[in-house]
Structure formats: structure tokens, C-alpha cells
Structure 1
Amino acid sequence: MKKIGSYFVMLGLCALVGCSKPAPELLTSPDQQLQVNVFITEQNTLAYSVERAAQPVVLESDLGLQLTTADFTQGMIIESRSPITSIVDNYRLRVGKKSNITYRANEQHFIVKNKQQQTLTVSFRVSNDGVAFRYIVTDPAAAQLQLVKEITSFQLASTTKAWLQPMSVAQTGWSNTNPSYEETYQNDLAVGTAASLGQGWVFPALLNTGEHWLAITESGMDGSWHGSHLQLGAATGEYQIAPPQPAEVFISATGEKGALLASATTSLQSPWRIIAIGSLAQLMESTLGTDLAHPAIVMDEQFIKPGHSSWSWAILKDDFTTFDVQKKFIDYAADMQWDYTLIDADWDKKIGYEKLKELVDYAAQKNIGILVWYNSSGDWNQTPYSPKSQLITHEQRIAEFSRLQKMGVKGVKIDFFGGDGQSFIQYYIDILQDAAEHQLLVNFHGATLPRGWQRTYPNLMTMESIKGFEFTTFTQENQDAAPPHIVTALFARNLFDPMDYTPMAFGDIPNIKRVTENSFELAEAVLMISGIQHFAEIPEGMATAPDYVKDFLRELPREWDDVKFVEGYPGKYAVIARKAGDAWYIAGINAEAESKTLTLDLGFVGDKKGLLIGSGETERSFEQQEIHSKAPSTITLRSKAGFVMILK
């Protein structure tokens, strides 16, 4: 141990000589499997640790903030601990793995003081599936509340393994668009492995300590705080909260740079730092990322309609954003009984507003909604695509969103953001609020992690924040790396938040040799959670699929009521079951180089019959068979193959 907690020393003294005060009640989860200890170290710093089933999971780790007018990183005492109270929160989620969610936790507030007698509150919540905590500063003695640094750390055993995505370097990449959370996941890393790009690791971080799985992330972002990520600490196995890079700030229409770090004048409250803990199944079924998000803002939700969308750009790229091609994709969406068609970049130049209105009206006749692309950026990158610089100010957004609403456009895809600085987080929220006022659905691309925003802003359908399908069309290297990357993303990136990977291709990709079988591609449609699933396949590729596959995609639910993790392992394979109404959809993919035989116990769905769709004799073919939930299903998946089931 690097330190000895004085809290535990005091317990030992009490045992020897007796104490007038009883030992503080320990903060545990409702099922008492998780236990949190908060204490002062011999160095007079604030620390915490977490146990699961009486086994250490998070070892002694640091807590604290440093502000310009207050230092809560040294000379600390715990002045008081509040009584432990029970938290129960029921909410509905339109975009997620479950629809009706009940969050139960035990909460305790720790009031701590520094040498200057300034006060910091650290609030902990412990649920059966994890631990969350946040900092609150309301002390008038702290005056101007400007954050300098946060020293929160997560100390793990030296044998821990990690599945992580590197944070990219700001102002690098195509047209200076980084960071966009678009790096390939690195799998089964030894804890303490340095990030390949030198900037740490993005949330969520997936870790395994042996019997225990952990996912570290944050939630509860209201615009007052910056987005964080992880960097290596000084000790082996230690990860620390890291701030955004200096370039990750919003630049106004007049060229003024926004704030990088959190600040306030009266009170300062951090997002929740979340550690989901449990078995792999517990993590995959957890909703902590939205449990700790702010409740939904008040809005008329009648316009909110999750769904499926056709999209030309994924395979056809820039030259096909034309009136005639987009009309064809509207017909394609109607034939597939989908809900939307997304018209991508440069539509304002290649189609124009007047002709866009014609497409909107044409689509409405077929019960298809139109989504349109926008460039978020001002001067923070060099992107050429338009419409550009039309959403920078509130006044610009009101004018543009009013115009779209009058035309009948249903939503916007907004691309090329510039990072995680506080001013950028506020920019995201300003867009979401203005879009909600004009009944527009939102999809952010080239963007940060949602961090539970889909609960707070129900008009947020999805966010990219992933190295998605488009990269597999750029280079063979990205295509070859996709299967394990996808599987890990299901356990990490898509764990709590919607992910617009834009899945599924059955046909050819120009100049690329596809490595996945068509059954793998079909399974992605069930495995990946996205409020609007933008399918990459074009009409010509879809025409090669048998009718029963098309019917499966036509009937595929837009929202999910429940989830069950069946089996899997990050980077290797995954089998997940999703429920909609009285039907269960089960899908699996194998990213490994060898075939894998699975024997699946489907008794959890009840007595149901259904259909299994898997690979045929060739990698591009399908075959189907009838199944019954009472009999275990044995499935052999070839390398880079998959399957889907529907049981009713």
C-alpha cells in the first residue's frame, strides 16, 4: 500500500482503548455486495476504496479538487458524514437497452475541510451494479470557483487487464477534426500500458481484475463542466481523471475562445464519476450511465420517434448527394418500411433548400422523414463541407431550425466538433435545447461521448463517438481491424450510450475486400444500440438479400424494453438478447480467427417459437431454420460470422 488510512488506524485504537463515538456506518449497496470506504490518509489527503463481496476491487485512490481560491487536495479532514439514505428513481428511456428503469442506491455525503476551513462536499451513491461520486463546492469562502485540476484516481491491482480506446491529439487528423473518439479499441492490455497517442484513454474504460469487471465513465453533464478522460497515474495500475487539451475550446463567431475548464460564481458541481462493478453480465445489463444523468428536460415529446434510416453517403460518398439519388433512397426506405432518409454533406450546394423541400414533401407521402447534415464548425477546424458556420450562435440556430421545421425536416446530423472543453460541452447542450424547441431530432458526429445525454434530452437520438463503418471503406487496414473493434465497442462505447456506428453491408465496398460475413453484418442491427439506426447498405446490396432477411429488417423494433447478456468476451465474441413487447431478438458475432461453437440456453425467454438466420454455404449467403426456446440451441459460427434469432 502506498498510504495507510488514518480512518483504519482510528478503528484499531478504538478496539484497544474504547471510543465514545461508534464507528461510522459503512456505505454499502442495497444488496450489501459493494462497500465504499472514505477516509483521510496519513498524508492528510482524502481517499476512498471499494470492495465487492469482501474482496478489494478499487484500491486506495485519491479524491480532491484544486481551485484557484481553494485547495482540496491536501491538509484535509472529514468534518462530518451524513446519514445514509435510500435513493429510488424511476424513469423512462426512449433510446437505450431498457425502456422503464428503476435505479436504487444508498447515498452518503462527506463534508470535508482544508486547512483554510473551506468546505467541499463529496457525495457517494452505491447501487448493486456500481459506485458513483461527485464533488460539490458551495462555500462562499472559495469565492470565484475556477477549477485548476482534479486529482481523482482509480487504483487497480497490478494484474488488471484493460480494453481501451486512445484519446487522440487535438487539432490532428483530417482537416484538424480530432479529437472525435474515433480510434480503434486496444484489447486485453496490461494495466499501466501507456496510451499509443500520448493523451490517455477515453471513457468508458473497460477493466477486469479477475472475478470483477469494471467500467469507468462519467455522467450528469449540464454544460458547467468540461468532459474528462483517463491518463496513467504515478503508481502501477493507477488511472487518473484527465482534463481536455488546451485546444479543445469553442471559438465564437467573433473569434473569441471559450473556457477550457469548469468555473462558476456561486456553486460548482462536477459530473458523477461512475465505476460500474460486477460480473460481465451485470455490466452489460447495467444502466448506470443514464441512472446518474439529469432527468429529462420538459419538452413536447410527440415528435420523438426512434427509427431506421437509409443513407447514401456511407458507400457512395460525396458525388451522390444529389436530388435524384436521394429520391431513390427515399423509395428504398419506403420499400424497407423504415422511418427516415439521411441527406448528407453539401446538400445545400448540390440540392438546395427549394429542392430539399420537394424531397421532404415527396418523402412525407411515403411516411418517410428527412434528416439533413450540418457542419458544426466555425474556425476550430479546416473542414470544407457545408452548410457550415450556421449554428454557431443562438440566433443562427433559431433561424436555421425554424426554417427546417417549417419545411417539415425531422432532424439534423451535426458533425465536426472540436473537443471536450467546457465551452464545447455547453455548445452541445445549447444545440440540443434549441433543436428541441423546434421539434428536431439530433445526431452528433465527429463528437464526444454522450455521457447519458439521451436521458436528459430525449430528442438526442444517437452520437457517433466511434471509429465507425465509414472508416472500413477508407482503407483495408481499418476493414481488417473492424471485427474485434466492433465486439469491444459493444462492451465499452455502446455500454450506456447510443452509438451511430452506421452498420451493415451485404454487397461490395469499392476498393475494399470485406472481411465479415453477411450474417455478422445482419447481427449488428440488433447488437448495436442507436436511437436512429443509419444503415450503410445501398439498394443494390440489399437486393442480394433473401426476402426473409429483408422482412427481418422491416420488422426490427425501433425501441427496446429489456436486455439480457447471454455470453461473450470483449474483442472476441458477443451474444446479446433484446426484448421488444413479447418478442426476444437474440444476436451474436464471432470476431476471432477460428470458428466458435455456442450452446445457448434460451429458457429465459419462456415458451416461444421462432426463426434463426445465420450463414449459408458462402460468406455472402444466408440460411434460416425454425427454433424453439425449450431446446438449447447449438450454433457454430465461422470466423467473422454471426446470427440473429427472433422468438415470439
Structure 2
Amino acid sequence: MTNIKSLCLCLLVALVCLPLGAADHLLKSPDGKLVVEIDTEGQLKYALKREGQLLLDKSLIGLVLEDRVLGENVKVRRVNRRSMVEETIVSPHYRFSSFNVVYNELDIQLKGNFGVIFRAYNEGIAYRLYTTAKEGLTIRDEVVQMNFPKDYTTYMAYSTVKPGKDQYAMAFQNLYTKSSVTGVKTDNIAFLPITVDCGNEVKLTLMESDLEDYPGMFVKGDGKSTSLQGTFARYPTELKSFAPRAMKRVVERADYIAKTEGKRTYPWRIWAVSERDTEMPVNKLVYALASPNRIGDCSWIKTGKVAWDWWNDWGISGVDFKAGINMETYKCYIDFAADNHIEFVVLDEGWYDPGKGDMLTVIPELDLPELVRYGKSKGVDLILWAVFNVLDDQLEAACKKYSEMGISGFKIDFLDRDDQTAVEMTYRIAEMAAKYKLTLDLHGFYKPTGLNRTYPNIINFESVFGMEEMKWSSVQKDMMEYDVTMPYIRMMAGPVDYTPGAMRNASKKDFKDIYYNPMSQGTRCHQLAAYVVHDSPLTMLADNPTAYKHEQECTDFIVSIPNKNIEETRVLQGKLGESVVIARKIGSSWYVGGMTDWTAREITLDFGFLGDGTYEVVLFRDGVNADKQAEDYKKEIFTVTPDSEKKIRMASGGGFAMTVVKK
């Protein structure tokens, strides 16, 4: 009976449209390695295999409405297929300037104004639910079941909120916890992306894309079975403003997750499948599955590097004025940026009184139009920090005022949630900012879900355990392990505003959390490597101008590494949680960065990725004493061809960075 069934399914693949009554449906990736089995007998569920290996056992999906569950007692109305669909996606400010995707698609229309679309790519699979009801719907919950055939190893970043409180409301910044599926915490929830190690180097990474007018997904376990469940923030019914930043926080939630139109599609649920760890940081599915550009012309959007004030606490020294939020300090930052060809200066918290929640009124100590004029006279643009809800409350007035003043964009902060109203606010702000040709850097924000494709004026996202954590975290917060884990997991979803560039660097034994004069864990060259390793179209220089002037050779090297107009990105070698080496191409030049955890490593870098010709390399690598003196580095200049190799030792917590320019 099984053989007959399989034969029938193979015949059905060739049909564009299938009749009613099909119980099981197969969808393969273009290369045939991935197979999705969709079961429509009674309940809607699916399984995922790779070359015969079961990765995900039959798992339920559906929507829980007020009066029924879409996904139970299903009956198929129609099945549509599309095969070998090819798309070329132009991707400004992404890790590739453009890229091609190929997929096979299966659209299963079910009775009850409901359906599901599956897509299979060589890089993974995705599905999205849709409804076709004429009237609005209240979504009480979404069924997202993940049944694994074995007790696989997981990598998860959990909510930082303690049990008993609203764990859905936090900054989406935490280290990764490694555990078995049965060992997943039962008193906490994990935010996406999460990675599941299926053995034999095969990994699944769960992400979502095209999150619009709907809450984001979290994951929880039961501590017993090899199953995980999706979970979602309930809809906010009451918010209150809290000091010291006039931030609006949820104080009451409904018993449903969304109220929405009846005819719509829901977010894509993505399982990226990697055969090698080096495939993970360059996976493109989140971007590819997002809604296309809605703002049209993108030529006005500027990216680049940013001189930043907050991490170093406005820490200028050796000057004859009191450093702080005043004209002299910001003109000093502008002068530093201009002298070093840095495109932006950000005015972080304090340029307006955060307690009053009025970003239309600048503090008396600052003449903002004069700062804008001064910056532009030196080729430096300004970016303004604000709280999400403060900008939203004054949205068009603020966008109009500061656009006309000559401000380049906003760094907006402290959304700290991804329920339906938070997602709606994000889209509202993105659209209005684009109207006034303002860019956005999103902090205190949920993981990227492809919004930078839909609104390319969104040029970076935080949602990363970045350098700011070093101001208050002990060495037990293992930043070095995180730095070689995050690029494989979090960076799959999109770019990161990690804010690197510390000029005070410490070994594991010497590191201390110091608020006013913070340092980094790991070596100087580990910091330099971040400017290549990270997808980051808008990259901060986190330390202060005085520190960079004292380390001019490193500063010159940082600003010589472009973070815009990236044509291609490759992961040359590495292993999740241990090390990573990434190369980025611009024109005929390449830029290469490598990092290790607290384990010293020697790698052999093969320059076979280069095109024909001879190249001049400028290499910054860990010095011979960097294991103890983390600021120790060595600069080398040499030539290579595609046949060359170079041995590079990375110290404990170390790294390297190089420019490779064709002669």
C-alpha cells in the first residue's frame, strides 16, 4: 500500500493543480535533499527529512480562533504547486548586493477559509498560514509544535525576565544556553533564532520572516519530551508610562494574541537547514521571504560608521572643557569623526529630557541646528536617539522637524517587546521615517524578521548581547564564546548593532566591569575583527575620541574597513561556539576577520577565494604577548596571490583582521 501511495504522490508532483481528497503531500527542495511531508488527515501537520534522515517528526500547526481551531478536522479543497521558481533579489545594505533563490512551493487550500503555503529551498524550508474570511478574526493562539525524533542539542537565548513576571517584555539580549531538548527551561521562554543540532553537522535554525500586524514567536519546552512549542505574547490592553525615560510598558494583557483582518497571510516560519556551520551566517531566507521594498528609491539612504558617545560615557579627556552633553563635547566628536572620515555622530540619550518624553524640545545646553550646520560643514551627519513610544507619540511632527533640520536618522530604543501593537508601531515608524528620508537603527528591539528588505531605511538592529553589556557584566558572562556563537545563529536573521571598538582590552583574568571607562573581554585584534565579522551597515566606534587618538594606527585600520556596498560574504572556516573567519568582497578587494573564544588557536588561511592577480595585505594580528597583555598586536604588510597561504595564531580571546587590496 505504501508503494502505491508513493507512486501516486510522484505523479501528482507534475500537476499544477490537484483535486480534492489528497491526504498526504510531498514537497522537495530543488536539489532533492530536503523533503517536507504534509499530512492533512484529520489534523494539519508536517515532518522534515534531509536525505532520508528525519529531522522533525510530524508536528501540528494551526490557528486557535474564538470558536474553532483552524488545523483540526481539515478537509482539502485544492492544492496548487509551483516548481523551480527563481527570483533575483536586490538587497541594498545586506551581506550580498543581490542574490538568487530557487524554490518549490505547495499551496494547500483547506475548507473553512484557511490554508497553508510551504516552500522548500536548498537552504531550508518555510511555511505560512493564511485565512480568507470576510470578517475580522480574533486569534487566541497559534499552534506551532516541534517534535524532534531524538533528544537533540539546542542553543537558545532566554528572556532575561524572572519567572512570574512578563517574560515577553525584555530587550532580546542574552547569551546562548546549550542544552538537550528535554533540558530546555520550563520556567522561561526563548526568543528566536534558536538552533538545534541534529548530529552529523546538520543543524536546524528556527526563524521567522514578514512579521507584520502580528506578535513574534518565542519557544518553550516541557522538560519531559523531545518537543518544543511556539508561544506568543498576549495582546496589550493597557500600557503605562514609566520613569526615567517615559517608556510605555504593558501592565495588562488580553486572553488572545491578535485581532486582525480575516483575509491575510501570517508570518513565515522558517527552518534553515545547514550541512556545515560555515553555511549558517550567510543563510538568506529571512531576507528572501520578507515583503519587497515599499519605499521605492533607496539612493538617499546613507550607511557607514558612527562616533558614539554613550558607551564611553562622553569620556573625552585632555581638553579644557567639561565633557558631557554640551556643545563643546559634541563639536569634539564631530571633529574626531571628520578627521577620521567617519560618516556620523550619534547623540544618544540626553539631548532631550528623557523624563519628559518630549523629543521636540531640545535641552538648553544644545543648539541642535548649529551642531547640524557644524557637522555638515565637515562632512559629518547626525543621528538622534529616542525612545520608541516617544517618537511614535510625536511621529510626523518629529520626522518633519528633524528631517528639515538636516538630521540623517534616528536610533530608537526600548521597544522591549514584539506583541502585535509593538510590531504595528515599528511599521508605522518605518513608513513615516521613509516619507521624510530618515534612516532607522532599532535598539531594544526584537530579532530581525526581514523588515530591512521591506523598509530599506532600517539600516541596523540591536537584539544582540553587545558591547554595552561589558559595562556591568562580570567575566562569568562569557563574551568570547558568545562572539563565536552569535554570528552562526543571531546573524542569520539579519545585521547586528553590536557596537564594537573598545581600546581598553583585557585577558580573562584581568577583565573587570567598569562603567565609566569600560573595557572589552579579549584582545585588541578581536575588537578589530568585529568590523569584518559582523553584518553591520551602521557600525559604532564605541570608545571615546581621546582613546582612538591615542591608538591612531588601530583607528586608521578600523575606518579603512568598509561596511557598505558589500557585494559578497563568505565564511571561510570556523565552528559554532569555537571560532569564525569571514570574508567580505567590495570591488576587487576583500576584507577578512577572524575570532576565537578563550581557546588560543592557529589557523591556516588559504587565499584561494581571491581572483587572479597579486594583492597587498595589511594584517593586524594578536601580538606574541596578547594572552596576558590583550592590547598587544602586530601589524604586517605583505603580498599574496590565490595560491598563497598564511598561518595566523589567535591568542586566548583573540582574533585578526586584514584588508586584501588588488595591486
Unaligned ranges ≥5, structure 1: 1-6, 378-388
CA distance in 2, matches of 1:106, 1:517: 46
The whole-number CA distance in structure 1 between the counterparts of 2:180 and 2:220 is: 14
Task: Pick one of 174, 180, 183 that aligns with 1:183.
Answer: 174
Equivalent position of 2:217 in the other structure: 228
Does the residue aligned with 2:485 lie in a helix, a strand or coil? Answer: helix
1:598-631 per-position Cα deviation (integer Å, ceiling 9, x unaligned):
1222202234422221112342132122252422
Structure-2 residue corresponding to 1:301: 298
From 377, 402, 423, the counterpart of 1:425? 423
Question: How far 1:494 moved relative to its partner?
Answer: 1.6
Counterpart CA distance in 2 for 1:525 and 1:203 is 24
1:201 is aligned to: 190
The answer (yes or no) to whether the contact 1:27–1:84 under 8 Å persists in 2 is no
Q: Does 1:490 align with 2:487?
A: yes
Q: 8 Å contact 1:371–1:412 — kept in the other structure? A: yes
1:35 equivalent to 2:24? Answer no
Look up the match of 2:281: 284
Instruction: Name the residue aligned to 2:634.
Output: 623
Question: Per the alignment, do residues 65 and 129 of structure 1 end up closer, same or farther by CA in structure 2, a change over 3 Å counting?
Answer: same
Q: Work out which of the residue numbers 619, 625, 628 in structure 2 matches 1:612.
A: 619
Of the three residues 514, 522, 528, the one matched with 1:522 is 528
What is the 5 A alignment of 1:113-192? 113=111, 118-140=112-134, 143-169=135-161, 178-186=169-177, 188-192=178-182
User: Could you report, residue by residue, the CA deviation over 1:79-120 in whole angstroms, capped at 9, with x for unpaired residues?
Assistant: 43213333322222222211112221111111234xxxx142
Structure 2 counterparts to residues 461-476 of structure 1, below 5 A: 461-476=459-474
Q: Quote the offset at 1:23 in angstroms.
A: 9.6
Query: 2: distance between equivalents of 1:644 and 1:354?
Result: 38
Q: How does 1:517-596 map to 2 (within 5 A)?
A: 517-547=523-553, 550-592=556-598, 594-596=599-601
Higher mean displacement: 518-527 or 260-269: 260-269
**Structure 1: distance between partners of 2:560 and 2:87:** 35
Cα contact 2:503–2:524 (8 A) shared by 1 = yes
Query: What aligned pairs does 1:303-318 form with structure 2 within 5 A after superposition?
Result: 303-316=300-313
Contact residue 322 and residue 351 of structure 1 kept, 8 A: no
- Alpha-carbon distance in 1 for matches of 2:84, 2:107: 12
Shift of residue 572, structure 1, vs aligned partner: 1.7
The answer for the alignment partner of 1:381 in structure 2 is none
Aligned to 2:268: 272
- Give 1:158 deviation, angstroms: 2.4
Residues 28, 126 of structure 1: 8 Å contact kept: yes
Q: Which runs of 5+ in 2 are unaligned?
A: 10-18, 242-247, 316-322, 354-361, 506-513
- The amino acid of 2:652's aligned partner reads S
Give the alignment of 1:68-147 within 5 angstroms: 68-113=66-111, 118-140=112-134, 143-147=135-139
Identity, % of aligned positions: 24
- Contact kept, 8 Å, 2:160 with 2:167, in 1: the verdict is no
Instruction: Tell me, in whole angstroms, the C-alpha distance in 1 between the residues paired with 2:4 and 2:475.
Output: 58
In the TM superposition, what is the alpha-carbon distance from 1:340 to its structure 2 partner?
Answer: 0.3
CA–CA separation in structure 1 for the residues paired with 2:105 and 2:556: 48
- Structure 1 contact 86–104 (Cα < 8 Å) conserved: yes
Contact 2:442–2:462 under 8 Å retained in 1: yes
Q: 2:232 aligns with which of 243, 248, 253?
A: 243
What residue number does 2:320 align with? none
User: Residue 452 of structure 2: SS of its match in structure 1?
Assistant: helix
Q: Quick one: distance in 2 between partners of 1:360 and 1:193?
A: 53
- Shift in alpha-carbon separation, 1:248–1:604, aligned structure 2, 3 A: farther
Tell me which amino acid in the other structure corresponds to 2:173.
E
Q: CA deviation at 1:54?
A: 2.2
Give 1:3's aligned residue: none
Report matched runs for 1:379-394 at 5 Å: 389=390, 391-393=391-393
Aligned partner letter, 2:146: F
Counterpart Cα distance in 2 of 1:431 and 1:414: 10
* 1:559 to partner: Cα distance: 3.2
The whole-number CA distance in structure 2 between the counterparts of 1:403 and 1:131 is 44
Does the CA contact (< 8 Å) of 1:306 and 1:559 recur in 2?
no
Task: Tell me the CA shift for residue 530 of structure 1.
Answer: 1.8
Identify the residue that residue 644 of structure 1 maps to in structure 2: 657
Q: Report the residue type matching 2:608 in the other structure.
A: G
Amino acid at match of 2:621: G
CA distance in 2, matches of 1:119, 1:248: 28
Q: Is the 8 A contact 2:304 2:539 kept in 1?
A: yes
Give the paired residue count: 610
SS of the equivalent of 2:32 reads coil
What residue is the counterpart of 2:318 in the other structure?
Answer: none
Counterpart of 2:319 in structure 1 is none
Residues in 2 aligned to 1:615 and 1:249: alpha-carbon distance in whole angstroms: 53
Bigger mean CA deviation after superposition, 578-587 or 625-634: 625-634
The 8 Å contact of residues 502 and 520 in structure 2, kept in 1 or not, is answered as no
TM-score (ref. length: structure 2): 0.85
1:300–1:315 distance in 2 versus 1, CA, 3 Å:
same
Determine the C-alpha separation between the residues in 1 that align with 2:95 and 2:522.
25
Q: Which amino acid aligns with 1:182?
A: Q
Q: Residue 395 of structure 2 aligns to a residue in which SS?
A: helix
Distance 1:144 1:589 in 2: 50
Establish whether residue 217 from structure 1 lines up as the match of residue 207 from structure 2. Answer: yes
SS at match of 1:363: helix
8 Å CA contact 1:163, 1:570 repeated in 2: no
TM-score by length of 1: 0.87
Match of 2:648 in 1: 635
Q: C-alpha separation between the residues in 2 aligned to 1:540 and 1:172?
A: 45
What secondary structure is seen at the aligned counterpart in 1 of 2:573? strand
The alignment yields a C-alpha RMSD, in angstroms, of 3.1
Q: Distance in 2 between matches of 1:254 and 1:561?
A: 41
Q: CA deviation at 1:258?
A: 8.8
Q: Which residue of 1 aligns with 2:381?
A: 369
Check 1:13–1:538 CA distance in 2 against 1; reply closer, same or farther (3 A cut): closer
CA distance in 2 between partners of 1:602 and 1:91 (Å): 29
Change in CA separation of 1:406 and 1:256 when aligned onto 2, cut-off 3 Å: farther
